[in-house]
Structure 1
Amino acid sequence: MQLKVGVILLISILFSILKLQETRTPMAKPHCQKECGDIIIPYPFGIGAGCYLDKAFEVLCIKIHFFSHLVFLNGSTILHISLDHAVVHAEGQPNVYCYNQSGEDPTTSASVHLNQQFSISYTRNKFVAVGCDIFAYILDSGSRNYTSGCASLCDDPNPIVDLTATSCSSVGCCQTTLPKDITSFDMRMFSINTFNRSWTTKPCSIAFFLDNKNLSSYTFNISQNIYPDLFAFPMVYNWVIGNITCHEAHERGNLVCGMNSDCIDNAEGLGYWCHCKQGYQGNPYLPSGCQDINECEDPNTSPCQNGAVCFNTPGDYSCRCLNGLVSDGNEAGHGCAHKQARHRIDVAVSLATTSAAGALILIAFGSLLYLKLERLKRNNIKRKFFKRNGGLVLQELITSSTASALKTKLFSTKEIMKATDNFNESRVLGKGGQGTVYKGMLPDGSVVAVKKSNKVDQDQVGQFVNEVIILSQINHRNIVKLLGCCLEYEVPLLVYEYVSNGTLSHHIRNEGDVPKLSWESRLQIAGEVAGALSYLHSCASTAIFHRDIKSDNILLDENYRAVVSDFGLSRTISLSKTHLTVVVGGTFGYLDPDYFRSGQFTEKSDVYAFGVVLAELLTGRKAVSSSSSDEGLVIYFQALMKQNSLFEIHDALVANDGQIGEILAVAKLAQRCLHLNARKRPIMKEVAAVLDQLRRKQYRPPSPRKLKQQLLLISERVQ
């Protein structure tokens, strides 16, 4: 008993010593709460005004049942904050998907919107789904693009799974990697319905993010619907400071890094981190947070050997030989040995002479050297950005004989910054999943649109180069014109003609106080977009598949002329080929089911997406509703056609303003474009011809009797 008490007392003393050692180096700002329970709160995080860097890093300390919990403002419980690795370990909530007693299959989703400075770590987490006959996936909330997903099936009536890599492999459980920089997303699930089931067997499924280190920590008995008592799973968030680079923060005078620290750029996007220099430890985000490490403090662990005496210096230490001893000649210089006296006077004279000469050189050429170094530094930064942004690839293509048609102007950073007023927020035209578009004015007075990417990685550079190559070879009045690009900035920049009247999406849904489109304008826009796609598929020098046709990517000018934009995902294909095999990309709600299943993109995949746009023009509805209870537009539209209820469409303006025959013809054309069998869809040349004929032909309003006959005829054909 006495031994047990002694051990407990010893452990308590050791923890007290460790705690005292931690508090020697300040982690929070003065007069701010340093801990919540047993979790340290390091700045830039903090509780209360003046204790955190900005709102993104504000946290709360909440006491529940005598225990203190550190939480984000969104309610997530924080488990640990790491400054060295710039991560936050926290508890994430799953998306739970359950049948009800009537056997209905509900649609469920969970939305997460993080601050721009936080993202879910794609290297430290997995996306996991547990359940039977489900498909779980993630949608980018901004672009509505499908980003990641997996399917889980059950062939065993009583599956028991754990989350190891071998067992969680699509049988009762599935897992997949995450895309980079997830900040705003919807986590969704739906039933594959491969087996008939009742609500009493395997009624619930869950999907969640999980820290890789915890993959083997959970076991699920799906048949008994047994899950962990606490529906919270450990996951890891990445964080960065700001949305600019170290160089830009230094130029603006708002660099957060304190004394004796280094600033490190985020290699995969914007923002930066701070780290204490070698020989220092502590919090690099505080003005004096990095404290010198005294390597000589403990004589038992002194780095000096063989009689050398350790002397601590700021950020370093030195080993000196006393009492007639001299260095033992070891390369590390940590030991001493007995040797004859050396000619210290000669050494001193030599050092004095060298120092004097060096001082004269510094005085004579110091200013010139400084200017040259600054110029060299700026040029090196520009060359670094030029290379990272695909400049070498573009340069090679521009100079090659095979790309004689590739002509584009290379703008300087100075020109772009002046045109956009240093990317002033008041110049923002729109933001999407890939970047932000700014309005700018060139020295000649012409107005342009400048597309600035959100992040920099190899995939983004590939899309940037791809868009320059494709748009440089296109000359069509209904396809956005590329004026040039800038390769010297920290992220890729593209300069386009300015299209002044917003997107088709805004006009269809009357967003931003824009007037609704008349039926005549809708028919004109549909025909112009179809003509542009037909040109890309069959009239360009090489066939081009757009791969991301949607109403958000169709711009309108002051005369409501349609302009197809955003060619980041587009691909060229030789005329002898019929399809591309690529990683699935695009926007959920516009994706061809054949393409989603096989990964093979054909011209008919663009036709399917155009069919969705036609359905939007007819109904005024979004392709994918933000409400999880609403069905998708394609299902809604096909149901209207099957039930012969097209005139119950949501957009009353179309029903009132449009000619009956034209509306029916466009609806039938949209239905053909949306056929599940790609081979039964028309080609874009045929679609464009039908719409052009409708625009030229004058319809007379049919009599009620004739209208009824037309509706009955269409109903019979559909059935």
Structure 2
Amino acid sequence: MLPSSLLLTMLFTATVVASPVSLPAGCPSKCGYITVPYPFGLTPNCSLDEGFQLLCVDSRLFHDANIEITDIDLSQGQAKAWVNMSSECFDTTGRSMPSSQTLIDLMDSPYSVSSAHNNFTAIGCDTVTTLNATNGNSSKVAGCLSICADMANLNYDGLCYGGGCCQTAIPTGFKSFQVTISSYRRCGRSAPNSCSYAFIASNGWSLLNTSDPNISVPIMLDWSIGHARCKEAQEDPTSYACSRNSICRDSGSGHGYFCLCSHEGNPGNPGNPYMENGCQDPHHPPTSKSEIIIISTTSTGGSFLVLLITVASWRLLKERNVKKRKEKNFDRNLELLRKEQSSSDANLIERMKTYDLDELKKATNNFDKTRIVGRGGHGHVYKGILSDQRVVAIKRPKITDEAELGQFINEVFILSQTNHRNVVTFFGCCLETEVPLLVFEFISGGTLRDHLIDNQRYSPLSFKDRLRIATEVARAIHYLHSEASTTIFHRDIKSSNILLDERNTAKLSDFGASRSVPLERTSITTMVQGTYGYLDPEYHQTGRLTEKSDVYSFGVIMVELLTGRIATPYQQNSMAKYLVMDFLESLKENSLFKILDPQVLKEGTAEEVESFARVAQICLRLSGSERPAMKEVGEMLEAMRTKRVVDEDDKMISKNRDISLAGALSLETSGGSRRRQYYSERLLKDSGNSLSENSGVTSNLGHTSSSLSSWRSSKRQHSTEIELQLSGEWPR
């Protein structure tokens, strides 16, 4: 009979180490002089999955067309890559020269830019740089300002001392980065080869040759297996990637893991820990398959009894460990929620619905990939059907660091305090996972961003719908600012966070970046966070978050609704680069109708479109004090909608006029005119409480534009020319 200890060893080895593979014959392992070790590969079926498949072009190794790989380190879970840097150059006459731009997109790949081994650097004498880091719907913005007296005397040797260069850290765990450069003072551009540079580069690398703006720079990438950390990954032997004689290490990116060959638990052995028998123990050579077969066939019946008992014991032990982990996660998450809870919301947590993890697994068919309806840098959204037949959306995180946990706890706390028809309904959460799972109402119509750019999948939005959507979003933001149980600043208002149901009713979503503010305070100072293109420039500069920061972002949404363009496009072309700047310039040059969406041109009257544009314009003031409150914005949009309804009523009455009913119809028409007068007077009265009543606007804008002009006149701190110049200096 086999010793029970040997059976246990064989059993647990087979259970924990199940996924390492033998590669099929003919898999290439070289690209030029670069070795490509598994889990990476050059052809289908030769890599762990599609994310690890690389391209070999002319003996050069690429992740994609923009990222070249020159080294892969299995022992550190890192790879060395080369990317373009951003540059802005001018000739001796001050004219812009061809430049390059840093655009790193690692979404849906195993890579992320290492925050520990890279930094963000800018070089120049008149340079403002912005680093926009995104993970799906989540984003962070960093940047720095570089100033010096004379570019010719710039002496940069890789170290920044504050003159002519600046550096800042890279946010952890992000997969996509865009670097932009703009001028701070609009001066210092007359020196020969006058250039500004901005780049992400590995620590210690220096840009010594500043004459070539198209040079590539090295960066270090973290790569990892999956999204689960070691502890969780080891519980699923069907997907765990580490082989025998190896150990697991959590990736420094904040998600996933990598493997190391080891001896007696200590890393350092040579070999490939992802291959079957890839890690060799010098003292215990691996048992061959034929030996295992011989041992198995010579076992007696008692051995099988021991094996059955062992399997049953292992299953019981696993179930107990899973239960303990659920209880531990539940207690920790509940404690974090209680810390967020204020004394005025003492019963908030008790009222919150909590779901069992098993229930949500059943609702999503164990989180089957076919149930994914949304993907982001922080996780996936699954469609689920609960036991009561309710269709829900379940937000499941895939990053499990402390910062991510704090963001989800914050989102749970914020959502539990909201109840508005234009804010996505929060049903509850599951606290049994390391980071809570969030359960929402399922919104089937996609995002506003999808509707604006995907004309193949969605019908164009009518101007009437665009006006209604803007009004509904304004209501939702006003509710957060003034009517919720605590003041809430959303901080990440953008078209991809506005969901539309089957009737195109707007629902504001994604509160991970939101902040609740005590009622007696009007602002908080916090780390700048938001999405490039929607970020309030005043908040970006000062770190001071106010309700007017959301007003600015809403103004960008209004411009998107007017133009059908998105503020954060991926394509690199000048027409899509600065949406807000193009919009403000069109107002100055009376060329607004040249940038409008065809559907808006077709259905909106000149008066409606111009009024809508003026509301957007005042929301986009550089100074927050010059912007209206969301209540006032909502009232202006409501008045525009009401006026449109009255006009449509009058047109219908006129169309159906009949001579035999001339008298009655005359009274109806008179009544329609009286309604028009009433609503116009109401608009002036409502807006007059907060807006001055100065005149002096184009006559065809009507009463709505008169009110807007009054607002602009009373609140303006800069001339139109100065406003446009300042707007151009801020990256949108």
TM-score, normalised to structure 2's length?
A: 0.75
Name the structure 2 match of 1:234: 218
Gaps of at least 5 residues in structure 2 are: 1-20, 287-302, 652-672, 674-696, 713-719, 721-732
Q: Which amino acid in 1 is paired with 2:224?
A: V
Name the structure 2 match of 1:52: 47
Task: State the 1:402 CA deviation.
Answer: 4.1
Task: Say which of 74, 83, 97 aligns to 1:83.
Answer: 74
With over 3 angstroms needed to count, the CA separation of the structure-2 counterparts of 1:415 and 1:40, relative to structure 1, is: same
8 A Cα contact 2:229 2:256, kept in partner: yes
Task: State the 1:598 CA deviation.
Answer: 0.6
SS of aligned partner of 1:204: strand
8 A Cα contact 2:126 2:184, kept in partner: yes
With over 3 angstroms needed to count, the CA separation of the structure-2 counterparts of 1:405 and 1:100, relative to structure 1, is: same
Indicate yes or no: 2:113 matched with 1:120.
Answer: yes
Indicate yes or no: 2:394 matched with 1:394.
Answer: no
Name the structure 1 match of 2:10: none
With over 3 angstroms needed to count, the CA separation of the structure-2 counterparts of 1:144 and 1:465, relative to structure 1, is: closer
> Equivalent residues in 2 for 1:315-394 (5 A)?
369-383=313-327, 385-386=329-330, 390-394=333-337
Indicate yes or no: 2:256 matched with 1:271.
Answer: yes
* Distance in 2 separating the partners of 1:537 and 1:71: 48
SS of aligned partner of 1:682: coil
CA RMSD of superposed structures (Å)? 3.6
Name the structure 1 match of 2:169: 177
Indicate yes or no: 2:220 matched with 1:255.
Answer: no
Name the structure 1 match of 2:131: 138
8 A Cα contact 1:109 1:628, kept in partner: no
With over 3 angstroms needed to count, the CA separation of the structure-2 counterparts of 1:559 and 1:235, relative to structure 1, is: closer
8 A Cα contact 2:31 2:61, kept in partner: yes
Task: State the 1:72 CA deviation.
Answer: 4.7
* Distance in 1 separating the partners of 2:31 and 2:494: 48
Task: State the 1:368 CA deviation.
Answer: 7.1
Task: State the 1:614 CA deviation.
Answer: 1.6
CA deviations 1:622-642 (Å, max 9, x no partner) are: 123433412422212212222
Q: Which amino acid in 2 is paired with 1:596?
A: H
* Distance in 2 separating the partners of 1:33 and 1:517: 51
SS of aligned partner of 1:162: coil
Q: Which amino acid in 2 is paired with 1:277?
A: S
* Distance in 2 separating the partners of 1:621 and 1:61: 36
Task: State the 1:550 CA deviation.
Answer: 1.6
Deviation larger for 526-535 or 431-440: 431-440
With over 3 angstroms needed to count, the CA separation of the structure-2 counterparts of 1:401 and 1:601, relative to structure 1, is: closer
Task: State the 1:382 CA deviation.
Answer: 2.5
> Equivalent residues in 2 for 1:13-28 (5 A)?
none
Name the structure 2 match of 1:329: none
With over 3 angstroms needed to count, the CA separation of the structure-2 counterparts of 1:36 and 1:488, relative to structure 1, is: same
With a CA cutoff of 8 Å and minimum separation of 6, indicate the structure with the bigger relative contact order: 2
* Distance in 2 separating the partners of 1:136 and 1:399: 39
Name the structure 1 match of 2:447: 503
Q: Which amino acid in 2 is paired with 1:133?
A: D
> Equivalent residues in 2 for 1:85-104 (5 A)?
85-100=76-91, 103-104=94-95
Q: Which amino acid in 2 is paired with 1:96?
A: S
Task: State the 1:551 CA deviation.
Answer: 1.7
* Distance in 2 separating the partners of 1:384 and 1:132: 54
Q: Which amino acid in 2 is paired with 1:276?
A: C
8 A Cα contact 1:27 1:282, kept in partner: no
> Equivalent residues in 2 for 1:146-545 (5 A)?
146-165=140-159, 168-198=160-190, 200-212=191-203, 214-215=204-205, 218-219=207-208, 225-226=210-211, 231-244=215-228, 247-248=232-233, 251=236, 253-266=238-251, 269-279=254-264, 280-293=269-282, 369-383=313-327, 385-386=329-330, 390-394=333-337, 402-406=345-349, 407-545=351-489
Name the structure 1 match of 2:689: none
Task: Say which of 536, 540, 546 aligns to 1:596.
Answer: 540
* Distance in 1 separating the partners of 2:341 and 2:547: 28
Q: Which amino acid in 1 is paired with 2:382?
A: Y
> Equivalent residues in 2 for 1:538-577 (5 A)?
538-577=482-521
CA deviations 1:21-58 (Å, max 9, x no partner) are: xxxxx999876556667654432234555543334334
Task: State the 1:100 CA deviation.
Answer: 4.7
Task: State the 1:418 CA deviation.
Answer: 1.6
Deviation larger for 106-115 or 617-626: 106-115
Task: Say which of 643, 661, 677 aligns to 2:589.
Answer: 643
* Distance in 2 separating the partners of 1:581 and 1:38: 51
SS of aligned partner of 2:79: strand
* Distance in 1 separating the partners of 2:27 and 2:188: 58
* Distance in 1 separating the partners of 2:188 and 2:599: 43
CA deviations 1:438-489 (Å, max 9, x no partner) are: 2211111111111122412222212211111111111111111110112223
* Distance in 2 separating the partners of 1:75 and 1:547: 31
Report % sequence identity.
40
8 A Cα contact 1:28 1:34, kept in partner: no
Name the structure 2 match of 1:8: none
* Distance in 1 separating the partners of 2:572 and 2:183: 18
SS of aligned partner of 2:325: helix
Task: Say which of 620, 626, 631 aligns to 1:674.
Answer: 620
Name the structure 1 match of 2:609: 663
Deviation larger for 682-691 or 180-189: 180-189
8 A Cα contact 1:644 1:711, kept in partner: no
Name the structure 2 match of 1:42: 37
With over 3 angstroms needed to count, the CA separation of the structure-2 counterparts of 1:606 and 1:492, relative to structure 1, is: same
8 A Cα contact 2:242 2:274, kept in partner: yes
* Distance in 2 separating the partners of 1:562 and 1:236: 41
Deviation larger for 149-158 or 414-423: 149-158
Name the structure 1 match of 2:657: none
With over 3 angstroms needed to count, the CA separation of the structure-2 counterparts of 1:401 and 1:371, relative to structure 1, is: farther
Gaps of at least 5 residues in structure 1 are: 1-25, 295-312, 316-358
With over 3 angstroms needed to count, the CA separation of the structure-2 counterparts of 1:499 and 1:368, relative to structure 1, is: closer
Deviation larger for 447-456 or 265-274: 265-274
Deviation larger for 246-255 or 545-554: 246-255
With over 3 angstroms needed to count, the CA separation of the structure-2 counterparts of 1:276 and 1:577, relative to structure 1, is: same
* Distance in 1 separating the partners of 2:308 and 2:503: 66
With over 3 angstroms needed to count, the CA separation of the structure-2 counterparts of 1:633 and 1:210, relative to structure 1, is: closer
* Distance in 2 separating the partners of 1:492 and 1:505: 27
Q: Which amino acid in 2 is paired with 1:189?
A: I
Q: Which amino acid in 1 is paired with 2:603?
A: D
> Computing the radius of gyration over CA atoms, which structure comes out larger, 1 or 2?
1
With over 3 angstroms needed to count, the CA separation of the structure-2 counterparts of 1:545 and 1:250, relative to structure 1, is: closer
8 A Cα contact 1:108 1:190, kept in partner: no
Task: State the 1:375 CA deviation.
Answer: 2.3
With over 3 angstroms needed to count, the CA separation of the structure-2 counterparts of 1:416 and 1:100, relative to structure 1, is: farther
SS of aligned partner of 1:530: helix
8 A Cα contact 2:54 2:63, kept in partner: yes
8 A Cα contact 1:616 1:622, kept in partner: yes
8 A Cα contact 2:138 2:378, kept in partner: no
Task: State the 1:495 CA deviation.
Answer: 0.5
* Distance in 2 separating the partners of 1:423 and 1:277: 33
With over 3 angstroms needed to count, the CA separation of the structure-2 counterparts of 1:501 and 1:53, relative to structure 1, is: closer
With over 3 angstroms needed to count, the CA separation of the structure-2 counterparts of 1:396 and 1:592, relative to structure 1, is: closer
8 A Cα contact 2:84 2:102, kept in partner: no
